[in-house]
Structure 1
Amino acid sequence: MPIKTREHLVNETNVRNREIRHTEKILIVDDEKLHQYSLLTLMQQSGYQVECVSSGEAAISKLEKNNVGIVLLDLNMDGITGDDVMRYISNNNINTSIIVVSGEGSFDAAENALKLGAYDFIRKPYSIDNLLNSVNNATKKRQLEADNTKMHTQLRESENIHRYIVNNSPDIVYILDGEGRFTFVNKRIETLLGYSVKELIGKHFTELVYEDDIDKAQFKFNERRTGKRCSINIELKLKCKKYNQPRNFDNRLLPIEINSMGVYSSHNEKHEKKFIGTYGIARDITDKIEAEEIIRFQAYHDMLTRLPNRTLLNDRLSQAITHARRNKTSLSIMFLDLDRFKMINDTLGHIVGDHLLQAVAMRLKHCLREGDTLARLGGDEFTLLLPDVNNQQDAKRIAEKIIKSLADPFKIDNHELFVSTSIGISQFPEDGNTIESLIKHADIAMYSVKDSGKNNYQFYDKKMIHAYSDNLSLENDLRRALDNKQFEIYYQPQINVETQEIFAMEALIRWNHPERGMINPNDFIGLAEETRLIKQIGDWILQAACEQLKTWRDLGFNDIRIAINVSAIQLEQNNFVEFVLEQLTKNKIPGEYLEIEITENTLMHDTDAGVDKLRELSNHGIKIAIDDFGTGYSSLNYLKHLPIDTLKIDQSFIRDMSKSEEDSSIIKAIISMAKGLKLNIISEGVETQEQLKQLKRWRCKNMQGFLFGRPMPNDDALKVLQRCSSISAQ
């Protein structure tokens, strides 16, 4: 803020006085209309803003707003008199100038008016010149008082600003004499270093400087140069007083940044300047240094687990390869991928997933030797560098230790979670002599473990590259399958065993690969979800199945419902509901003849948004079924508030129910719960007459499985519908 001199303020005041001379608002208070009009005309012609009132009451009402500069006041009025108005102004400290204009000519009246605060007293009939002079003088006086007040306020503010800069600066401000002793230091020294101002005055600056920085400080802290050559942004450390408050960066040292310049006396008779000391500012840069350390840490570490990231791993692996090559030793790389993590993350949410990753990282660190590096590359993937291994046995022992350490459950946010890991191991120099080849081959070995049942480890073998290439080839083929029209939809009937009627057909995808033949969905749906191609595939299934249902309805099968599986990835699409409704409208299908099947894990994924979409679909009559029920994590209380119509008992329970009392109990519990919640129930995977009879005894009438028909192409499904229809007609 620029500081104005007194001369500047006076000149400014004179200019403003000319500009604002006639901007004061005048209030005329007179109960005689003729006098009131006369004053109004005179003041307006003189350029003033004027208002008129005819009583003391009205005058007080106007004055309450406190925006009247001058009052031309008559004394003798009915009710509240002019004296009363002046008392009101005085008692309420209203900033206005009163000029009494009255027919009362006695000395006592004039004296009383002046005692009550009147600026002037003018007797009626008045001289126009006298009245105008009085008003103009009152205006000038008010303006001069306002300008004077403002001038003093600004001068006080200027002084306060100087005082604030010095005594309340966030930086240490100091002055040294020619010998380097403190002659002035501001109070900031107390909060930053713990010393009082008094105990530093007269002390040499080196008593504050950290011993290792004294040489640097000799010509910086007590700088003699001025102008562009003086010290700018020089970093030093100062010593804190022992009893000072603990600091985040260092309890004993304060990192500072110095800006200093020499101070010289005025010219003497010989036209020479004399050095009299140093003026300097020392800024606390603790936050800056901490921020720089955080930035450096973030550049080389994963912020969730605090483990090294890919950049730091590559740096250490490069050094380890150089060391191993020079000393003719070996090293191992382990690539770890957590089993079942995606299901936990999708089911319980990313917060639980993040906490689980942190807990896994802690356990893995306890399995390391000194000098090993554990890094997180992203997601649920970790890489472990083991330098100086003698043979595969060393890596094998650590891999087994890791698998054993993860066997115990993790307690995360009131959940007991189990997670295992698949570990691929590559060796230098046998499996590669570069960073890229070692990590790639460990990755291939890890995928081999995944394909072999997970929760194990394997060393890289050249034969694995073929299986890895095969998976990569399958992914590439999957990306082309839609365009090449290689997908087909098979249909499996859902039967009411009491009426022997087909009430629905479930649409199931098959991949008719030109070289591999018919591929089961279990062999490619997981890959489709991993690559997120499931969205395009799912949209195609929904579109094709609705078109097929329209064909059946055109042939007279109007009571058949189509059931379609939907993944979590499809459900999270913003336009999912609109796309479903578009297919129904285009094929003229009522909503109640479409059933959307979702798994429990899909239901728990993206919970709020997903449930809102399901509710919207349900509002259009579309049925919602939970597939594979009993294998997921859904809450029964949660089910009660969802728009669910049907529960499908997972076929794993049906398959083992004759051999397992637990599975039988689960099935009966699900059937009983569904009836209590007024939900339909369908048993999946019914393959034997024994299963059929047992389920009927448990009062489950809706079933699906090989016993009633395998998944079949369009033409065969139509024949089954026609045969079932003719049987019902008989």
Structure 2
Amino acid sequence: MQNDGASTMSVVLVEQPLILVVDDELHLRNSLSALLGLHGFATVTADGGRAAIELLQNQQFDLVLLDLFMADVDGLQVMDSIIEQRIDTCVIVVSGDVSIDSAISALRHGAYDFLRKPYEPDELLLKIENALIKRRLEKENRAMNLQLGESERWYRYMVNSSPDIIYTLDGNGRFTFLNDRVEPLLGYRKESLIGQHYSALIYLEDLESARYILNEKRVGDRASRNMELRVRHNIESKLLTLEFSSFGMYEEGMTDQPARHVGTYGVAKDVTERKKAEQIISYQAYHDQLTGLANRILFKDHLDLAIAQAKRNQKMLAVMFLDLDRFKVVNDTLGHVIGDSLLKKVASRLKGCLREGDTLARQGGDEFTLLLPQIEDREDAIRTAEKMIKSFDVPFQIDGHELYVTISMGVALYPVDGESIDNLIKNADIAMYDSKAKGRNRYQFYSGRMNVSFAEKLSIEMQMRKAIDRQEFQVFYQPQIRVGTGRISGMEALVRWSSPLHGSLSPLEFIPLAEETGLILSIGEFVLKSACEQAMLWKNAGLPPLRMAVNISSQQIEQDGFCDCISRLLQEYHMDGSMLELEVTEGALLNDGEHMIAKLKMLASMGIKIALDDFGTGYSSLSYLQKFPINTIKIDQSFVRGLPSDPNNVSIVTAICAMAQGLKMNLIAEGVEKSEQLRFLYSLNCNEAQGFLFSKPLPGNEITGLLMRNGPLAPPAFYLGQAESNFQTHKVG
């Protein structure tokens, strides 16, 4: 293709190289264009330097064949213009001047090569081919450099934007690279750490462990390690926990020699907050949150170990079951806050009576268990029991109240009173009830005759069986409110027993026996039916549909036909599954885990919501919370009671709220009795609350009146810090 003259500057859209031929002699331009055309090159011609410059400004050429001496603008000026305007092309000078000075001058002005006229066609074509190859390589090199530069910029951006520390160490363990994350996380300028040994960061007690990961020299499938190490902050006096993932770096040697270790690279992730949350959850799994004592799980672990040691050493051990006398009176007259303070002081006083190696645990409520491992005889147990009883001669001073408290204790000895964990605890419990029956403030050793005292328990059981037929059970309802609005969001169904023989009994007084005897199945079915019926009565009366929460025991949910039973209830009362929420305890989840997951998922498929009740009083790992289809977590009232003054309760509730929000679960706080508790929960974005601050449990007809008001049970302005006296609350009961 040939185009002659500056007046014809159309862009040549061809894939083959485009060459500009510049000569003021027409026959030379034409012959050169013809030669190039025969060899597959596209050409454009210019009859002088000025036309060439104009073409170069408007069109991209791969190569310029340029004559030096032309009438208007000579070749050297054309090359100067190419350089000044940074035109991307390659120039071969084709000139009749045979002097060496002309060639040198052309090369100094940027020419790639110099060809004297006349020339051989093959010589010209070879120079053109070489010039085009050079130009192609230069373009590829520039493109590669641009790509590498862009890749490096992205790499640096990603490395320095990482939320984790990225590092490399040389073979001696000294830092050779750190990303920008090290300064905001640890307070060190990264430049100050380059060349420093990693031990400058690692906490002294973790240095030995650090050597196993930061001196990583393994290869193959095991060429990496993960480990948590404590690291010192440069400015603040604190330790952070980082999770290190480390990989060895190697330099390939000769084929018959192993690769040489040259250093380590890896990532360090800040897991400090996660570790704190795990420690809180781990602690509450094995400790009582109110007193700090061991809980039942930890006590049984210690007892199991003590039995094995006693058996091996042919020694005795003692298990004591302790109960505060008339503690219910303290709770009922002075309130739960005083009651909890008393329990903490009791725990402290009991610990002061023990030997090193003894284990004191809180079973729940006002009950404690004590393990005395490897005693010589029963006299050792007697001395400890008498010392504890004697310590209670001194009254407790709590918030201006002087409280005299006594304890009743039962003692079971290994191996005479039992050789298993459950038998020893059970028999100590029986002995404790015997000491109460004999006047309290004493201790009793277990004997077989004490089983007779369970006649009273049988009496209650018989009364309970009759109560089902006599319809002595009644369902009360306690509102659950939205913390942000104060309006009712749901109801919890709670069973009460009005016994002609025993009077009005709370669930704590008969539910444990109902579970022990299996009567909980009949009682639970009654509560479920009553709750569903009441929920639909409210809905059919034109009230907004409410979520109805019902407590379900592990025995109920473990029944083979439980899901079918729930399905039939929903059909019978024409109730949408989304209106029903079933509350299960942490202990129930741990029984037959996979089977339980399947049942709960089946319930969830009906639209039913699942709530985890009394969260924090048992053991729930994060994996369980993720495996089960749980919608709601209920914070146990034992943690709410101390808010916002008790730092332990504050830490626990804060952690639970953060965890629930992270898992996108609804959160309900139980036992809210004070406005400051409510304000604190609001500050943590807790979703819902229930407790005496809003309403005590009430019969269905009284709740109906409450719902008819359609007003908030707690004013939303509570949370804005205004004085309580400014509000007219709708609290009932």
Q: Do the two structures share a fold, i.e. TM-score over 0.5?
A: no
Bigger Rg, structure 1 or 2: 1
Give me the TM-score of the superposition, normalised by structure 2.
Answer: 0.41
Q: TM-score, normalised by structure 1?
A: 0.42
